[in-house]
Amino acid sequence: MIEILPYRLDWPVEFERLAARIRTALGQRALRVDHIGSTSVPGLSAKDVIDIQVTVPALSADIALALRSAGLVQRGQVRLDHVPPGEVADAAEWSKLLFAQPQGERLAHVHIRVAGRRNQRYALLFRDYLRAHPATAEAYAELKRRLASCLADPKDYPEVKDPAVDLIYLAAQAWAAQSAWAPTQD
């Protein structure tokens, strides 16, 4: 069963701890290490999973090796992000590496994405838009609470949630164009 928790003040602290481990493992190969996803939006209810985006110059075997050496577990079956409507379905724009914490450690998902690619921008724009629009964030939290309580199979949660995330992303794109948005650095 999926549990959506009220925002926790320790989520940014937990992100910083994990980010330091990643920065140590990757050094200068990590161009950015950002707290993304719902736990990165102050006040937003979320699953208790810290999502981290690591921006790199290119996806490479040495990056994967460094993260595995730091104790992270690669999820090899995940190689592409969901492509929202209206976006070009070019695999290069949506490719990534995905890692998780080892069994028994703090639950986290570490998304490795290439600088300037659409999926790298998507995560930062989505986060910054929700930070700037608390009413939208609250509506999104309510959707997540309802999905978590109504879905019979928790594996369906991401698939059912994706269209709502896409709607927010489409609004975020218009906002970014009007406001000359540039991603904040965590």
Owning domain of residue 121 = 11-179
**β-pair type (32-36, 73-74):** unpaired
Q: What is the mean pLDDT of residues 143-153?
A: 88
Q: Is the pLDDT confidence value at 159 over 90?
A: no
Answer yes or no: is 35 within a domain: yes
Question: Is 124's pLDDT higher than 80?
Answer: yes
Residue 29 DSSP class:
G
pLDDT over threshold 80, residue 152:
no
Looking at the domain assignment, is residue 67 inside a domain?
yes
In-domain check, residue 4? no
Q: The pTM is what? A: 0.93
Residue 93 lies in a domain: yes
In a domain, 61, yes or no: yes
User: What CATH number does residue 175 fall under?
Assistant: 3.30.460.10
Calculate helix-pair angle for 118-132, 134-150, nearest 10 degrees. Answer: 110
Q: Is residue 5 part of a domain?
A: no
25-79 pLDDT, tens digit each: 999 999 999 999 999 999 999 999 999 999 999 999 999 999 999 999 999 877 9
Closest CA to 18 of 40, 1, 45: 40
Give the burial class of 135: count Cβ atoms within 10 A of its Cβ; 0-12 exposed, 13-18 middle, 19 or more buried: exposed
**pLDDT one-digit tens code per residue, 96-119:** 999 999 889 999 999 999 999 999
2 found inside a domain: no
**Structural domain includes residue 184:** no
For the chain, how many structural domains are there in total? 1
